[in-house]
Amino acid sequence: MNEPDILGASLARSGISRRSFLKFCTAMASLMALPPSAAYAMADALKRAQRQSVIWLSFQECTGCVESLTRSFDPTLEQLIFEMISLDYQETLQAASGEAAESARKQAMKASYGKYLLIVDGSIPTKDGGVYSTVAGVSNHDLLVEAAKGAAAIVAVGTCSSFGGIPHANPNPTGAVSVSDIIKDKPIMNVPGCPPIPSVIAGVLAYFITYGKLPELDNLNRPKVFFADTIHDRCYRRPFYDQGKFAKTFDDEGARNGWCLYELGCKGPTTYNACATIKWNGGVSFPIESGHGCLGCSEPNFWDKGSFYKPLPVPLADNTPIITAAALGGIAVGTAAAVISRKHQTSISEEK
């Protein structure tokens, strides 16, 4: 009989020292806003845990979500998170293909039935019987329903699987929907972004493996620890916003001085994500720091909210006077927009 694949033994085989492992757990605990003592609890729990079986399904997507994780600039983090899981099926990363790949998926689902973590990236086409995206002749819809039955929980990675994303944009020719539009009887966590931040994906996986459950979620099923604040709340350009200093073009003096990009269409005031704090490329930068406004890609229906280069109002047609009045009154437009956006998101959640 095969011995269970214990994570501690797997890490030891890979030459990862206890010191390195504790450093990783400390970073993960900090990332998830857990108390310092949680790092040791996480290390102990992870060391004793069996490697988490993960089935990763890709549907209507661009592979950007997988690329985001695999192109992490922190190899230690990347190596550790992949040592934590047994990635039993992922079309892009696995060596097997064709019938061998599908056989591996079915075997893994059977062996870990009720225990595996199902990760999904990409939206699910429903029009015309779902013919617009199939795997081995099976529609994405049917494959999702089959895989969800034996999953302990589901993580929708990326805006497409979380909210429908770009395939869902008007006129939505394939009838694209999100995972939560189809699956109603499983715990689902959305990790939106086009693509999501690698460390966010790693953090939520580490949390699930440690505690056997999903972290606390907001009204759109996003992990609060990463999606509680708007990008505007944490943006390093916020002081310029408060001083009324705005770049008027992408190459003017204001832009060269790092002034706020609000008037160039930045959607930071209505976008909830950790880009401004965790950043990208190993913490080097994020779009605003690189000179371009936030597109709001981690929000529902971001593609249909008008031009990326026109200033807000927020995505509610009747709120323009409110935003304008707030600006004229010297009140932070970003704060007003964020409050209205949060109320709008609550209505979206209630409608679902």
Please tell me whether residue 260 adopts helix, strand or coil conformation: strand
Helix, strand, coil % (nearest 5) of the chain? 45, 15, 40
- Going by C-alpha positions, the residue among 332, 335, 349 that lies closest to residue 270 is 335
Angle formed at CA 260 by CA 258 and CA 263, multiple of 5 degrees: 130
Tokens of 252: 């003017």
Half-sphere exposure of 200 (CA within 13 A, CB side): 32
25 is in an annotated binding site: no
The DSSP bridge pattern shows strands 176-177 and 124-125 to be antiparallel
Tell me the one-letter amino acid at 260.
C
Strand spans (E) along the chain: 52-58, 85-89, 116-121, 124-125, 134-135, 138-139, 151-157, 176-177, 188-191
What does the block give as tokens for 56? 């990763």
Q: Please give the Cα distance from 131 to 139 (Å, whole number).
A: 6
Cα separation, 229 vs 244, in Å, equals: 22
**CA gap 216, 214 in Å, rounded:** 7
CB 180 within 8 A of CB 134: no
Within 10 A of 62 (CB to CB), how many other CB atoms are there?
Answer: 17
DSSP state of 319: G
Annotated binding site: 62, 65, 160, 194, 232, 235, 260, 266, 275, 294, 297
Annotated binding site for [3Fe-4S] cluster: 275, 294, 297
Annotated binding site for [4Fe-4S] cluster: 62, 65, 160, 194, 232, 235, 260, 266
